[in-house]
Structure 1
Amino acid sequence: MKDEERGAALVEFALVLIVLCPLIVVIVAWGIRFHNAAQADNAAFIAARYYAIKCGPDGVGPATAAAKAAGAASTNLVSAGDITIAGGCNSGDTITATVSKSKAWSPSVPIFGMNGNYSLIGKGAARCE
């Protein structure tokens, strides 16, 4: 090995690492964001399903409160106030639940515009039988 080539691999590795590290952080941040979106969809579906099952002679009010609590209990990402429910209690009606929340990027990557908050929206539907 020539003396002038000593350390060339280390320099090349450092140059590749400058591009590779931010790329890995961005992939992790988007993975967390997609995981949160799946949790929001799941919470909305659970709320809609619970509402479709519980809605009946008790009326809309208790079923709405119970459905929001069930959706929020499915994940620690949302609270009952983040869930809205629409639809009737009649047989064949479709109940829709929507989760809306503003969530901060984690980890924050300002270079790629991934700083601040993003809007997290999850939707779920269930049919009353």
Structure 2
Amino acid sequence: MVPRQRRRPRPAPAVPTWRRLHARLAETYLQGQDPDDPRASPLRGPMRAGPSLRIDVGADEVLLDDARTYAARTAQAATPVTLAILEGMPHVFQARCAKLAAARKSFDAAGRFLAAQFVRL
């Protein structure tokens, strides 16, 4: 019987904390610009009446609250808005339309929405 050799534990990988990762992503996105600038986030600026809007968002989306807030604020500004929350879907779930039925459903709904908007023109 061969004795088992003790393995030295591997050092933990250098994984940034979520807070640091989010800060780094924000810095990359903003590139030194003011985070309160409405061009960085439409939630920061005034809402005006505009064309009809459709927002498809996953129920597990990290920006779900922002999507809800944006939909509510645009509706208050007299913009017709449709907010579709798809159960169990994460951030940018539509990028997986080849594998996710919910993503295909979202694209189909967006297509119907756009077609209806063009008919109004």
Q: TM-score range by the shorter chain?
A: under 0.3
- Please give the TM-score of this superposition, normalised by the length of structure 1: 0.22
Q: State which structure, 1 or 2, has the greater radius of gyration over its C-alpha atoms.
A: 1
Higher percent of residues as strand = 1
- Please give the TM-score of this superposition, normalised by the length of structure 2: 0.23
Higher percent of residues as helix = 1
Which protein, 1 or 2, shows the higher relative CO under an 8 Å CA cutoff with sep ≥ 6? 1
